[in-house]
Amino acid sequence: MRYAVVGLGAVGSILGGLLARAGDNITLIGRKNQVDAIKKNGITIDGVHIMENIHVTEKFSSLTDVDVMFVCVKSHDTYELALKIKKYLKKSALIVSMQNGVRNARQLEEITGVKTLSSVVLFNAVYKKAGDVSLTMKGGLLLEYNKEKYTTILKIHNVLKKAGFNVEIIDDIHAALWSKLVLNLQIAVTALTGQSIKESIKDRISRKIIISTINEGLQVVKKSEIRLSALSKVDPRKMIWILRTGGFLSTVLSNYILGLKENARNSMWQSLSRGKPTEIDYINGEIVNLAKQNNLKAPINTKLVELIKEAERKHLTKSYEPNELKKVLKI
């Protein structure tokens, strides 16, 4: 089996680096600055340098013989990527979306004509610079079950396990994708306050904002009759309960359940810090759109979308103190 990872940000670099270290036939595809850095220095994950078995390129033509392609680009880059790769992928290949949001797999399959499955990434990673990343929150991977592609999925499962990932194949990936999306509503909050994930959990005001944001998302999803599932370690409802208790249980959540490092930052803050567009439309924006479709209200998430887009325009990595943000959101 020949594998490829497209998108060498935090998740793609960790995935590609660990697969390469495990000795699998893997091609890494990224932007020129990433390719140049990795060709020169390999991939560094938490200070561990991986040089062996690294095949990295900018060229999508290298996808011609690939059997499985892991997509790790940002959601807003999915459409353009699909158009670029469609002429290279063989129809018997399998695409696995490892992205945030709930629409990417469908879009990839519709444009490329290649079977695409979803996955849910349950770990957190920080992108320091091209080829240098840190795993800042422990967690595994959920792979979508598919009867026709089950033999290939089992091979993917085994390859990822060999690389060191905890992997589970599940039937209802749709429920898991929505559960992660609801959990991810909080990342707009810490992107605006500039706090690390741990700091936001410890801060009483930030916790209150996060609880209100996630709870609003839960209500919209519930009233829209979308099913959620309990994710490994934590699910949205349990997260709210733990955060409401504060104190000891919040510390347990950050230190032991999630295994958060002090430098753990969410992907939205990382995008803002690099002057890149965020995935706000595919996370909080998804709740706003769902609310509109079902004649519901989502004022907190609507305002968060507006504030993040303002931060994008102004290239801000800290827009508000927690108490200021609470007032702006009218919580």
**Which pLDDT tens digit goes with each residue over 250-260?**
554 544 345 55
**To the nearest whole percent, how much of the chain has pLDDT over 90?**
74
Q: What is the mean pLDDT of residues 132-141?
A: 83
Q: Are 170 and 86 contacting, i.e. CB atoms less than 8 angstroms apart?
A: no
Q: Are 3 and 29 contacting, i.e. CB atoms less than 8 angstroms apart?
A: no
Q: Map residue 169 onto helix, strand or coil.
A: strand
Structure tokens at 82: 């699909």
Number of H helices, E strands in the chain: 15, 12
pLDDT in the model for residue 238: 73
Beta-ladder partners of 169: 143
Q: How far apart are CA 325 and CA 312, in angstroms?
A: 17
pLDDT in the model for residue 249: 47
**Which pLDDT tens digit goes with each residue over 76-130?**
999 999 999 999 999 999 999 999 999 999 999 999 999 999 999 988 888 999 9
Lowest-pLDDT range of 174-183, 188-197, 231-240: 231-240
Query: Measured at the alpha carbon of residue 222, what is the angle toward residues 285 and 72, in degrees to the nearest 5?
Result: 45
- Same fold? 3-171, 176-328: no
Give 257's DSSP letter.
I
pLDDT in the model for residue 255: 46
3-171 CATH = 3.40.50.720
Q: How far apart are CA 43 and CA 157, in angstroms?
A: 23
Q: Are 102 and 177 contacting, i.e. CB atoms less than 8 angstroms apart?
A: yes
pLDDT in the model for residue 252: 47
Give the H/E segment covering residue 67. none
Which residue type, as a one-letter code, is found at position 262? E
Mention the CATH class of domain 176-328.
mainly alpha
Q: How far apart are CA 308 and CA 312, in angstroms?
A: 6
Distance of CA 291 to the CA centre of its chain: 22
Q: How far apart are CA 195 and CA 269, in angstroms?
A: 9
Q: Give domain limits for the chain.
A: 3-171, 176-328
Nearest to 27 by CA among 44, 5, 45: 5
Q: Map residue 191 onto helix, strand or coil.
A: helix
